[in-house]
Structure 1
Amino acid sequence: MEKPQQIFGIRAIIEAIQSGSEIDKVFIQKEAQGDLMRELMKLVKKNNINFSYVPVEKLNRLTHNNHQGAVAVISPVSFHDLETLVESVLSKDKTPLFLILDQVSDARNFGAIIRTAECTGVDGIIIQKNGSAPVNGDTVKTSAGAVFNVPICKVEHIKDAIFYLQSSGVQTVAATEKTDDTIYNVSLTEPTAIVMGSEDRGVNPSVLKIVDAKAKLPMFGTISSLNVSVACGAFLYEAVRQRS
């Protein structure tokens, strides 16, 4: 039987967390009070579950049921351990290609990126627990089911993931306009992790300081930026071109 995509109600969410359900994100009504809500928040923080405070209108859109000020999104996939995945990929007879998403927050963009990643042979997608888009129905639909085929890792901090990949012999390349190098001047033929930034501010400046290389797409129009899923596709297919 297919798992429900949402759980509503404080007690139901508490029980789901305690039973080990794969909770992707919890939406909490702003200014919500009460002992039960405090118990929920304590559990959410203890288990490092992604959460955000939202107006009640947001919760009302998520469910027509009595949500009591809390709605949880159940992940339809199980997340992978980063170190285990990297070790497994590096042991294979192919050049690894990873994708790091620095707080891409729109579920449809996330789904579109996953779909392209699956088509281009990406070995794993790395996202941060806090600030990233949930893996929900929109993600699954937009990915055309690819979300079930590409391993996804959730990490506490993107920078720690980058340091680990670098120590494992994987170069990190950030997509940013803050460079003179285009993607066509950067070698992607070695083990590589491409870093894509959030929709509103791009790759975090602290992340840009530690990556091995930065690259941009040439722009010839009057609009100065691309949708992140489109830009990601261009980067991934340049990796495919270079490796073909």
Structure 2
Amino acid sequence: MDEGALYELAESIRAQGIMQPILVRRLSQGAHAGKYEIIAGERRSRAAKLAGLERVPVLVRDVPNEAAAAMALIENIQREDLNPLEEAQGLQRLIREFGLTHEQAAQAVGRSRSAASNLLRLLNLADPVQSMLMAGDLEMGHARALLSLDRAAQITAANQVAAKSLSVRETESLVKKLGAEFQLVTQKPKKEKSRDLRRIEEELSDLLTAEVEVRIKKRVKRNGRVEEMGDISIQFGSLDELNGLIERLRGAE
């Protein structure tokens, strides 16, 4: 937790009190049986202690372990001081650990599906670039511009962005300039896909927690019917991600 933000929250609580009760549950098993565990409101609880409050308003709920963990994670993702990469990592946990679809994860944290997808794409950045984003050396706009480059080029460009304090627009220009040397091969403009094809892509993306593209290469006529033929592209950012994809495909058998 950011100490500065925590002290600011403490000052607000000292002046106005806690506006939203802290969500807790009573533990029934283990060494802490009979005690209460905070599900949502850890920051408010700590800030209240800093503000000198001896009592705080709470709501007691009977919540299973998995649901409690998901609720705590969702509240953490919704923090205002969260870095975009931390938010992306939280969304990925909701999808992988709790079985939420991209749509459900986005709704849980109050994001649109497209905004959640843009955040999740940040996890495809090269590790050094992710570290720069986490440290605040790059902003979300810089990171999104760098995603169109391969990983080696991302690192080269990110170092230039940080060293020269480039704006997002300047970063986009740099990415175009590096294109001749590093940038991934661009594809021809794609024809508008049918609603059914987009739905299939979304369902596959949700199942695999990876970006999936279905491409129709040609149409042939068989027995009086037009059949579409093509291929499926699944994106991954590392060998670990690829191994995870393979495991999820095996699990879907």
Same fold (TM over 0.5): no
Structure (1 or 2) with the greater helix fraction: 2
Q: Which has the higher contact order (CA 8 A, sep 6+)?
A: 1
TM-score, length basis structure 1: 0.27
Structure (1 or 2) with the greater strand fraction: 1
TM-score, length basis structure 2: 0.26
Structure exhibiting the larger radius of gyration computed from Cα positions? 2
